[in-house]
Structure 1
Amino acid sequence: MKEIILLLGLGYILYLFIEKYKLKRRRNQIKYVIHVNGIRGKSTVSRLIDSGMRAGGYKVFTKITGTSPRYIGVDGKEVLIKRRGKANIREQISIFKKATSQLAEVLILECMAVKPDFQKICEKQIVNSDIGIITNVREDHLDEMGSTLDQIAESLSSTIPENGIFFTSDKNYIDYFKHIATSKRTKTLDLLEEKEEYESIDFSENVALALNVCKYFNIDSKIALEGMRNYKRDPGVLKTTNYTNFRGAHVSFVNALAANDPNSSELILNKIKKRDNYWDRKRYLMINNRRDRVSRFEQYIDFIIKLENNFEKILISGENQEIFKTKILSAGVLKNKVVQIKNFEFFENIEEDSMIFAVGNICGKGKKIVDYIEGQGEING
């Protein structure tokens, strides 16, 4: 029995050695590897860089974690990744095999690690990027990445490469990241100006960041922007569904559930306010909660208190509805302003033209609501 265990152990060690050798060989076959990290906008920035670099003539392979994992091949085709079990950072190893088999010049990888130790392992032992990107520092994954923005920034900095190039769009933490990058002999490139015209593509900070990367690769800004205008959005990106319900009311359902942190939700809300055709209607704020996201649960109570005057009603969906309701009532929200969503009939019984701004988390009940509403009407950007 001991001999069998020993043989199995030696076999596994040999397997890991061969895997590491193959990974290193494949890594050396790819001219540029770009590692995209951050709290919000990783998938979008990855896609924008992908589109801009393709427009510039590069052979690009991109792996997106996003709402659902997928990759965009050198041929531009998007393929859904079917996982066996939970997400694992070893998934990135198989991506190198696919990218080299398609003779990619550039591999763009969205970081799929959350815990600080795993982020470090992902960069140093698997990815070994030439270019590191941190989109921003926001309050999310507080249970795993740290309870303060400074701690979250420190965690994210684990993926800044050694002897490489670094980009960020976070104005508050660029000096901190630059300090970390310098200690790793990595050059930090200055922020690119955010222009209002970029808003027609996506949030200006995302577009400016992606454009800055393309600029580094000597791609003309006009060419890169033209490519970005046609980029394919992530399935979980901000979308609005317009439909007419059973009572004849026109309802606009703004799906901001993928943002899932209060700061990002507020940025999206400010963008929505500029759409007069949405903001002039009766307004609902819908919060969808997950049972296992306690820190986010608490964050959205503060979010409601801060912004409740923008809305006529507060809708509660998902898990722990009674607890959440008790907490927001204790915080001063009027009882007649709070509605618990038990089924889809609520949406069909809205009597006035309305806008529903949905935030929190897309998992569970949130996904079911989104699927139901998108099945009723027309989806717009």
Structure 2
Amino acid sequence: MSTSSSAASSSSSSIPRRDASPVRRTRGAAVRPSVIESHGVCSYPDLIDDRTTVTTLLPFLLLAAAAGALFVEAALLRRRVSSLPVRIHVNGTRGKSSVVRYITAGLRSAGIRTVSKVTGVVPTYSSLTGEDSVIRRFGPARVQEQFMALRRAAAEGAGAAVIECMSLQPEYQELEARWLRPTVSVLTNVRDDHREVMGETEQERIRSLTSAVQPGVTVVTGEERLLDALHAAVRVRGARLVSAPLHNGAGTDTAAQRNIGIAVAACSAAGFPAEKVLPGILQEAERDRLRRLHRATGGSTSLFIDVFEANDVESTAERFAAERRSAPYRSVTIILNTRHDRPVRTADFVRWILTLGTEVRSVVLSGTHSAAAERMLRSGRCRAFVVRCEPDEWSEVRGEAVPVGGERMIVGVGNIAGAGHRWRSVFSGGPA
């Protein structure tokens, strides 16, 4: 008896008493864990209070809320886009903004309630009344800017929206077009620019620009030289290409003739005949032409030709040659506005200026890459008078750069960004 009693006593003493169990504190609250007997060892389960659970799940809850908001926003955007019967997406290397304005003017003259958005250096939204409002950017351009324009167009009850493609990267071009679901696409031309994004070869540039083409859409183009390659690229994407003819009634400016032809063809593809849209298009083209400012000063005629927005040499040379044919001015001054982040463009324009030889009397260099441009011109033995000058210094060098008397042509080229707008103000605000 004593032996069994002793064993029982020994056995009972090996089991911890409830009152003697250790106390575990969790965030200030005393918690006494349950005791689990397993081979004489006590194990303690993990303790999770409500606050720990919420903290753990919070990122997932926020992610789910964001996904839900995006789903709702996408559904609303699709509905707004569907409320716009005519949707025209304008892409290409050069002339996009002009073509957007021409198409908009043409549709309005046909009685269509039309809004538009151009990108360029100054992104602008044109309402149903034709009132332009600058879109303010806080940081780099973002594709959401296009979605905001579409929301505004739907809210105004527009019957047509003409939107300029704002993206360079092919994937973003495709994203724009996928959301816009254009009824007509425009590809103005394929030129050599933005090689770091568009590619080094013509085939790479074609692939980049046609990434915005959606299946089943009609694509209108003014490109002539690469027409066969464009036909093949557009056909691969399940679309149809239409070549726009030049409009011969637009004077000698080939670029204007081509842009007017593109606008007429795009409106026709959208279902509006040329006779209804052409009056508005021609009126807008005339406003574009008036950017060239004729001024009479002391018996001499000065003509300022604004080609700052044509960032590539091919478009600039085409416009320059057309102006020289229509008005063979004796003295030519070229203002080259440069950008340090576009060194290839600077070199291209310098090479073009050197090919003009004695046709150019003086070259005025401005912008953040002007020192490099000056070195290139001098190393290329440029015969023209070369001077570095910003717009606010023009009055100091004008006498040397532009001779007094006779007929004078001043051509602004290179880049509109930076000093380009200020050069415009110089020549629109007073005599050259």
Among candidates 191, 207, 211, match of residue 138 of structure 1: 191
CA 1:310–1:295 in structure 2 vs 1: closer, same or farther (change >3 Å)? same
2:76 alignment partner, SS class: helix
TM-superposed CA distance for 1:360, in Å, is 0.5
What SS class does the counterpart of residue 163 from structure 2 fall into? strand
- Hey, what's the Cα distance between the residues in 1 that align with 2:156 and 2:358? 53
- In structure 1, the residue corresponding to 2:149 is in which secondary structure? helix
- Name the counterpart of 1:41: 95
RMSD across aligned C-alpha pairs, in angstroms?
Answer: 2.6
Q: Normalised by the size of structure 2, how large is the TM-score?
A: 0.79
The alpha-carbon deviation at position 308 of structure 1 amounts to: 3.2
* Matches of 1:314 and 1:184, distance apart in 2: 45
Residues 346, 369 of structure 2: 8 Å contact kept:
no
Counterpart residue number, 2:312: 261
Conservation of the 8 A alpha-carbon contact between 2:207 and 2:233: no
Counterpart CA distance in 2 for 1:280 and 1:27 is: 50
Bigger drift between 366-375 and 292-301 goes to 366-375
8 Å Cα contact 1:238/1:255 also seen in 2: no
- The structural deviation recorded for 1:200 is 8.0
Is 1:187 paired with 2:236?
Answer: no
C-alpha distance in 1 between matches for 2:411 and 2:379: 23
Verify: 1:173 aligned to 2:243, yes or no: no
1:89 to 125, 143, 146: 143
Paired position in structure 2 for 1:197: 249
TM-score if structure 1 supplies the norm length? 0.89
Encode CA deviations 1:137-173: one digit per residue, 9 max, x unaligned.
1111122211223221211011112111111110122
How do 1:36-185 and structure 2 match up within 5 A?
36-124=90-178, 126-185=179-238
1:118–1:218 distance in 2 versus 1, CA, 3 Å? closer
Q: Distance in 1 between matches of 2:56 and 2:129?
A: 50
From the superposition, tell whether residues 234 and 148 of structure 1 become closer, same or farther in structure 2 (CA, over 3 Å). farther
2:77 to 6, 23, 37: 23
What amino acid sits opposite 2:238 in the alignment?
A: R
The corresponding residue for 1:315 is 364
What's the offset of the Cα at 1:184?
2.7
Deviates more, 1:194-203 or 1:307-316: 194-203
**Distance (Å, rounded) in 1 between the aligned partners of 2:96 and 2:427:** 26
Task: Give the match for residue 297 of structure 1.
Answer: 346
Percent of residue pairs identical: 25
Q: Greater relative contact order (Cα 8 A, min sep 6): structure 1 or 2? A: 1
Larger Rg: 2
**Counterpart-to-counterpart distance in 2, 1:356 and 1:242:** 11
Distance between the aligned counterparts of 2:380 and 2:366, measured in 1?
Answer: 18
- Which SS does the other structure have where 1:196 is aligned? coil
Give, as a single letter, the amino acid of the residue that structure 2 aligns with 1:323. A
1:331 and 2:376 are equivalent in the alignment: no
Superposed displacement of residue 19, structure 1: 1.4
2:293 maps to 1:241: yes
Given candidates 357, 376, 389, the residue that maps to 1:341 is 389
> Structure 1: where are the runs of 5+ without partners?
none
1:238·1:258 contact (CA, 8 Å) conserved in 2?
Answer: no
Question: Is residue 352 of structure 1 aligned with residue 400 of structure 2?
Answer: no
* CA distance in 2: counterparts of 1:363 and 1:25, whole angstroms: 36
- 1:160–1:234: structure 2 CA closer, same or farther, 3 Å change rule? farther
SS in 2 for 1:82: coil
Structure-2 residue corresponding to 1:280: 329
Question: How many Å separate the matches in 2 of 1:147 and 1:238?
Answer: 35
Cα deviation, residue 93, structure 1: 0.8
CA contact under 8 A between 2:343 and 2:369: conserved in structure 1? no
List per-residue Cα deviations over 1:317-363 (Å, max 9, x = no partner): 212322222222222324x6322225222125644242211101122
1:167-211 per-position Cα deviation (integer Å, ceiling 9, x unaligned): 11101222222223222322222x243232133897111111111
Q: Counterpart in 1 of 2:260?
A: 207
Q: Distance in 2 between matches of 1:36 and 1:143?
A: 22
Change (3 A) 1:108 1:195: closer
Following superposition of structure 1 onto structure 2, how do residues 357-368 of structure 1 map, counting pairs within 5 Å?
357-368=411-422
* Structure-2 separation of matches of 1:91 and 1:340: 37
What whole-Å deviation, never above 9, does each CA across 1:39-95 have from its counterpart, x for those lacking one? 111111111111112222222221111341112222333222222322111111111
Letter aligned with residue 198 of structure 1: A
Q: What is the rounded CA distance, in whole Å, between the counterparts of 2:223 and 2:86 in structure 1?
A: 23
Q: Is the 8 A contact 2:206 2:233 kept in 1?
A: no
Give the SS at the match of 2:190.
Answer: coil
1:44–1:233 CA contact under 8 A, matched in 2: no
Q: How many Å apart are 1:214 and its aligned residue?
A: 2.0
The verdict on how the C-alpha distance between 1:363 and 1:167 changes in structure 2, with shifts beyond 3 A counting, is same
CA distance in 1 between counterparts of 2:138 and 2:387 reads 38
1:257 and 1:362 in contact (8 A); partners too: yes
Q: SS in structure 2 opposite 1:170? A: coil
Mapped partners of 1:338, 1:200: distance in 2:
30
Per-residue CA deviation, residues 89-136 of structure 1 (Å, 9 max, x unaligned), is 111111121111122222211000012222122222x22222111000
Shift of 1:250: 5.0
Structure 2, unaligned runs of 5 or more: 1-54
Say if 1:254 and 1:357, in contact at 8 Å, map to a contact too. yes
